[in-house]
């Protein structure tokens, strides 16, 4: 039995007398013990989805089962077995690290001791500061404390809504490492993030935009959705390069990626020499043109454009 079964859920909100669709007809399953990533920008519907799954709000229509329990009728059973970390840092800022952990342990009818082995590796990193008020912790430490609190009752499914937003690259790396460790304990993990580069670390990735899934697949499968030829291009004058590439015959899209531009073409017939010749004619120096494999972000933008049209 999958840990999460979602069938055709939709949800809209009313804002300024207009109906805004937050989620439109979404369906997916998450296998037991899987690490499932929901990736998309702010306002795509990630938080709404997570709140429906954690029984916090009701969908307008559709069906959701968590560990076989219905989110509407059997919400009490679900609340006993899930761990949830909301997007905003949601612990008591005026309570110390230890007080927070103890409080959440008691709320879930357990003690810190009982499940210490599960959180040990995470909690040990903040234990030296256990008498510090949670509000006085750094971003990375708050995140570790929040995760410890969400895990203290050894949930069978863990929901993490944007745990790495606003966190620096070092803490993000550490955080994903922790998630991988937790997965080994048999916990099913659903995590949402706006950072495309985190997709590679999930078993399954759902790309979400405007309340709809653009794709659900393994990271490799997702990447293979990009069918067009893709080139990384670089020159000494990047600003001019972009202007010139936009005029290039056969250009499908051109986006900056780090120090390169990713140029996708709408024809397979265009060769490296053709691009090179065109750019040389535009007087570019230090040209570098390489064929590359698409990444998640390339796919996301491609799918985003195709649904917009």
Partner 1 sequence: MIELNTHMITADKLTKQFGDFTAVDQISFDVSKGEIFGFLGANGAGKTTAMRMLCGLSLPTSGKASVNGFDVNTETEKIKRSIGYMSQKFSLYEDLTVRENMRFYGGIYGMTIPQIKLKTQYILEHLHLEKEKDTLVGSLPLGWKQKLSFSVAIFHDPSIVFLDEPTGGVDPITRREFWEMIYEAAHKGTTIFVTTHYMDEAEYCNRVCIMVDGRIEAMDTPANLKKQYESAHMEDVFLKLARKATRIAD
Partner 2 sequence: MKQFIAFVKKEFYHIWRDKQTLLILFGMPIAQIMIFGFALTNEVKNAKIAILNPSKDIASATLTQRIDASRYFDVLKNLQSQSQIEAAFQEGKIKLAVIFPQDFNASLLHNNTATIQFIADASDPNIATTLTSYASAIVQDYQEEMKGANTLPYTIQTDTRMLYNPQLKGAYNFVPGVMAMILLLVCTLMTSIAIVREKERGTMEILLASPLQPIVVILAKAIPYLVLSMVNIASILLLSVFVLELPIEGSLPLLIGESILFTITSLSLGLLISSITASQQVAMMISLVGMFLPTLMFSGFMFPIESMPVPLQVISNIVPAKWYFYIVKAVMIKGLGIGAIWKETLILSGMTVFLLGLSIKKYKIRLA
Q: What residue ranges bind partner 2 (CB under 8 A)?
A: 51, 54-58, 75-76, 79-80, 82, 84, 86-95, 99, 102-104, 106-109, 149-150
Pick 75 or 248: Cβ nearer partner 2:
75
Given partner 2, partner 1, none, residue 137, with its beta carbon under 5 to 8 Å by kind, binds partner 1
- Under the criterion CB under 8 A, does residue 88 sit at the interface with partner 1? no
The answer to whether 168 contacts partner 1 (rule: CB under 8 A) is: yes
Nearer CB in complex with partner 1: 102/297: 297
Query: Distance between CA atoms of 307 and 225, rounded to whole angstroms?
Result: 14
Q: Which one of 4, 9, 23, 44 is in contact with partner 1 (CB under 8 A)?
A: 44
Q: How far is the CB of 182 from partner 1 (least distance, A)?
A: 22
Residue 21 contacts by C-beta under 8 Å, 6 or more apart in sequence? 10, 11, 12, 210, 211
The nearer residue to partner 2, 97 or 265, going by C-beta atoms, is 97
User: Of these, 209, 222, 235, 264, which contacts partner 1 (CB under 8 A)?
Assistant: 209
Residue 40 binds to partner 1 (criterion: CB under 8 A) = yes
For partner 1, the closer CB: 20 or 271: 20
List the interface residues with partner 1, window 239-298 (CB under 8 A). Answer: 239, 242, 255-259, 297
State how far the alpha carbon of 127 is from the alpha carbons of 68, 114, 174, 255, in Å: 36, 17, 17, 44
The DSSP output letter for 286 is S
H or E stretch at 39: strand 35-39
Cα radius of gyration rounded to whole Å, the chain: 23
Does position 136 interact with partner 1 (CB under 8 A)? The reply is yes
What's the number of CA atoms in the CB half-sphere (13 Å) around residue 11? Answer: 24
Residue 226, phi-psi category: left (phi > 0), alpha (psi -120 to 50), beta (remainder): beta
Contacts of 41 (CB under 8 A, 6+ apart): 194, 209
The interface region with partner 1, picked from 77-85, 146-154, 211-219, 234-242 by CB under 8 A, is: 234-242
Least Cβ distance, residue 204 to partner 1 (angstroms) = 20
β-bridge partners, 26: 9
CA distance 305 to 309: 6
* Residue 236: alpha-carbon gap to chain centroid: 34
Interface contacts to partner 1, rule CB under 8 A: 15-16, 18, 40-44, 129, 136-141, 165-171, 173, 194-197, 209, 238-239, 242, 255-259, 297, 300-301, 304-305
């Amino acid at each position: 039995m999958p840990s999460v079964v979602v069938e055709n859920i939709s949800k809209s909100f009313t804002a300024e007398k207009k109906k805004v669709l937050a989620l439109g007809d979404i369906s997916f399953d998450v296998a037991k013990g899987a690490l499932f990533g929901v990736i998309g920008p702010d306002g795509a519907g990630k938080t709404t989805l997570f709140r429906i799954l954690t029984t916090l709000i009701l969908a307008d229509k559709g069906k959701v089962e968590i560990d076989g329990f219905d989110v509407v009728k059997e919400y009490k059973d679900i609340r006993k077995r899930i761990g949830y970390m909301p997007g905003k840092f949601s612990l008591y800022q005026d309570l110390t690290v230890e007080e927070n952990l103890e409080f959440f342990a008691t709320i879930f009818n357990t003690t810190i001791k009982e499940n210490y082995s599960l959180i040990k590796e995470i909690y040990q990193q903040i234990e030296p500061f256990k008498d510090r008020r949670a509000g006085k912790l750094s971003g990375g430490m708050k995140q570790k404390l929040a995760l410890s609190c969400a895990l203290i009752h050894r949930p069978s499914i863990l929901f993490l809504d944007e745990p790495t937003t606003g966190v620096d690259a070092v803490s993000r790396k550490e955080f994903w490492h922790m998630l991988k460790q937790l997965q080994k304990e048999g916990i099913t993990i659903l995590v949402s993030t706006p950072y495309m580069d985190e997709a590679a670390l999930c078993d399954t990735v759902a790309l979400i935009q405007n309340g709809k899934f653009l794709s659900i697949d393994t990271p490799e499968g997702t990447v293979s959705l990009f069918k067009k030829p893709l080139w990384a291009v670089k020159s000494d004058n990047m600003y001019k390069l972009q202007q010139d590439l936009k005029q290039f015959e056969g250009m499908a899209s051109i986006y900056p990626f780090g120090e390169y531009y990713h140029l996708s073409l709408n024809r397979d017939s265009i060769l490296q020499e053709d691009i090179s010749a065109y750019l040389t004619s535009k007087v570019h120096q230090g040209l570098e043109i390489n064929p590359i494999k698409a990444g998640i972000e390339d796919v996301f933008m491609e799918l985003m454009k195709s649904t917009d049209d």
